[in-house]
Amino acid sequence: MGKYRYILLDMDETILDFSLAERTALRATLEEFGIEYTPDVHKHYSEVNLSLWKRLEKGEITRDELKRLRFEIAFGRDDGTYMNARWMDNLAECGFYLPGAREFLDKLAATDIRVFIITNGLSYTQNGRIRASGLIDCVEKIYISEEMGAVKPDPLFADIVIGEIGDPDRSRYLVAGDSLSSDILLAENAGLDSCLFVAEDKDLPAGYRDHDITYIAHGYDELLSVILS
Ligand SMILES: [Mg+2]
């Protein structure tokens, strides 16, 4: 057995294709509300949503405020709560794997390394996407921030997972994910090794040199090599 026994693996843009899910669900939702979907409209929504998620990560707003405000701010509506509910129903049906992700998980499942998903997100949509994709059958357990009372990069998120697994030796854990501000920073905050995942068709994220990253993996073959090291 290699160095790592437990992999804490991010879900969105590491295993599941959130961009495709969001595009598919946003188009369906906007059509219901008579708003034309265009790439510019999507870009505007994404910017609003991302800024609200950053405010949530900093503890400035609540999850309920995020759900409502993203539609009210992005589309100037006063029915943000209802629009968000329709959006969540549509998104919950979109569980698309990134190319190569399912094969990577199958290879990982053939080892004796225990794999856990750690994801920031809303319980309803994440659980729907997990069911739609069948991801639950590929890993031991899925941890969703809304159900845990902790959001990555809060080290409490890792503490809860490690506490449940029951092995206090943090050198046996590896956090792998695509986000500097949630996954890599979680590892730094919790004193765990990390692997920044960069999809083969993507560039390294800006600011990666500012972080204490243990490994960088371009694509799933490299990620598997790191995990088995
Ligand atoms: Mg991610």
Choice among 10, 154, 183, 193 that is catalytic? 10
Q: What is the pLDDT of residue 92?
A: 96
Q: Residue 8 C-alpha to ligand 1 middle, in angstroms?
A: 12
Q: What is the pLDDT of residue 178?
A: 98
As annotated, the residues of the chain forming the CATH 1.10.150.240 domain(s) are 19-91
Among the listed residues 122, 144, 19, 130, the one whose alpha carbon sits nearest the alpha carbon of residue 62 = 122
Strands of the sheet containing 114-119, edge to edge, are: 141-144, 114-119, 6-10, 173-177, 193-198, 215-218
Q: What is the pLDDT of residue 134?
A: 96
Specify the pTM: 0.87
The per-residue pLDDT for range 159-188, each reduced to its tens digit, is 999 999 999 999 999 999 999 999 999 999
Q: What is the pLDDT of residue 121?
A: 85
Alpha carbons 58 and 67: distance in angstroms, whole number: 16
Selected from 3.40.720.10, 3.40.50.1000, 2.40.40.20, 1.20.140.70, the CATH number assigned to the domain covering 6-17+95-227 reads 3.40.50.1000
Q: Residue 147 C-alpha to ligand 1 middle, in angstroms?
A: 18
Q: What is the pLDDT of residue 138?
A: 93
Contact 80, 197 (CB under 8 A): no
Q: Is 201 a catalytic residue?
A: no
Alpha carbons 46 and 78: distance in angstroms, whole number: 19
**Residues with pLDDT less than 70, the chain:** 1
Q: What is the pLDDT of residue 141?
A: 96
Alpha carbons 4 and 209: distance in angstroms, whole number: 24
Q: Residue 85 C-alpha to ligand 1 middle, in angstroms?
A: 23
Please give the CATH topology (third level) of the domain spanning 19-91.
DNA polymerase; domain 1 (1.10.150)
As annotated, the residues of the chain forming the CATH 3.40.50.1000 domain(s) are 6-17+95-227
Q: Residue 78 C-alpha to ligand 1 middle, in angstroms?
A: 30
Q: Residue 118 C-alpha to ligand 1 middle, in angstroms?
A: 9
Q: Residue 91 C-alpha to ligand 1 middle, in angstroms?
A: 16
Q: What is the pLDDT of residue 63?
A: 87
The per-residue pLDDT for range 110-128, each reduced to its tens digit, is 999 999 999 998 899 999 9
Buried b (16+ CB within 10 A) or exposed e, 149-167: ebbbbbbbbbebbbeebee
